[in-house]
């Protein structure tokens, strides 16, 4: 049987990179070497070593390269439409994989996978985005949806739309998530206010708000840090006022 290009041994620098990957995965690879291999998907007959180095030089890091939009990638020396498409496609496929991987799993059993998905989607972005994860009665993940972009203090998030979509999805619980482009993991006053509002509305509609996750230089969970308990107490106090009335 004739061997494919990927199976041929000793075919120069690119062949050696492919052999190393097939034998050991990415262990020992530099970021430039990983990018070089990725670029071969877009231009399989071109020397991709220098364009890979230029990408890192211009954009600063491997993650910044994959997060960069097409126009930014195409401005880098040696990167044309085919290479930029290959890089963006790989990034989106990774997001699709991570999102699909958490569907159907219970949150408590897959919280690390959820953080992986959210981090891939939101870390390093220059704008703030707001996502909601929808869960069923067993807290198995139904889906995730981007509900707003911009900043939370500029009315980018509409709580009624979150509730409506949760009911449309027949969700029993939700998890909120957003990123801080600054990298800070400290919840802002607006973050806490939004969480309180969402918890109150969820309680009114017999939905559970399980957590609010912030993605920055790492991740922050309201639940893990005791903030959800304070939010719940505040919401319960408001509900009690309504009941007394």
Residue 29 has pLDDT above 80, yes or no: yes
Residue 224 has pLDDT above 70, yes or no: yes
Residue 245 binned pLDDT confidence (cut-offs 50, 70, 90): low
Say if residues 211 and 221 touch (Cβ distance below 8 Å): yes
Average pLDDT of the residues in 94-113: 70
Average pLDDT of the residues in 201-224: 92
Tens of pLDDT along 61-83? 888 888 888 888 988 988 988 88
- CA 73, 95, 120: angle at the middle one, nearest 5? 80
Superfamily of domain 105-244: Cytidine Deaminase, domain 2 (3.40.140.10)
196's tokens: 């309180």
pTM tops 0.85, yes or no = no
243's tokens: 């009941």
Average pLDDT of the residues in 171-197: 92
> Nearest 5°: phi and psi at 63?
-65, -35
Identify the pLDDT of residue 27: 81
Residue (of 166, 165, 162, 200) closest to 178 by Cα position:
162
Residue 166 binned pLDDT confidence (cut-offs 50, 70, 90): very high
Identify the pLDDT of residue 173: 94
10 Å CB burial of residue 113 (0-12, 13-18, 19+) is: middle
242's tokens: 């309504």
Domain boundaries, the chain: 12-95, 105-244
Assign domain 12-95 one CATH number from 1.10.1200.10, 1.10.150.20, 1.10.8.60, 2.40.100.10: 1.10.150.20
**β partners of residue 128:** 150
Alpha-carbon distance of 10 to 154, in angstroms, equals 57
């Amino acid at each position: 049987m004739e061997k494919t290009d990927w199976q041929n041994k000793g075919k120069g620098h690119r062949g050696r990179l492919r052999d190393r990957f097939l034998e050991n995965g990415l262990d020992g690879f530099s970021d430039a070497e990983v990018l070089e291999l990725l670029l071969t998907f877009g231009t399989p007959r071109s020397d991709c070593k220098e364009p890979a180095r230029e990408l890192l030089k211009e954009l600063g890091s491997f993650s910044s390269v994959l997060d960069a939009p097409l126009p930014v990638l195409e401005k880098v020396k040696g990167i044309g439409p085919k290479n930029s498409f290959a890089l963006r496609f790989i990034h989106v496929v990774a997001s699709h994989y991570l999102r699909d991987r958490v569907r159907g799993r219970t949150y408590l059993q897959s919280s690390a996978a959820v953080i992986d998905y959210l981090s891939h989607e939101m870390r390093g972005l220059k704008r703030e985005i707001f996502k909601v994860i929808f869960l069923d009665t067993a807290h198995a993940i139904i889906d995730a949806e981007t509900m707003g972009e911009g900043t939370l203090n500029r009315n980018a998030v509409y709580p009624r739309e979150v509730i409506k979509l949760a009911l449309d999805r027949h969700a029993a619980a939700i998890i909120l998530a957003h990123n801080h482009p600054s990298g800070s993991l400290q919840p802002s006053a607006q973050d806490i206010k939004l969480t309180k509002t969402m918890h109150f509305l969820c309680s009114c509609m017999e939905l559970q708000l399980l957590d609010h996750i912030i993605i920055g230089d790492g991740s922050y969970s309201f639940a893990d840090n005791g903030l959800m308990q304070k939010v719940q107490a505040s919401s319960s106090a408001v509900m009690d006022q309504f009941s007394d009335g």
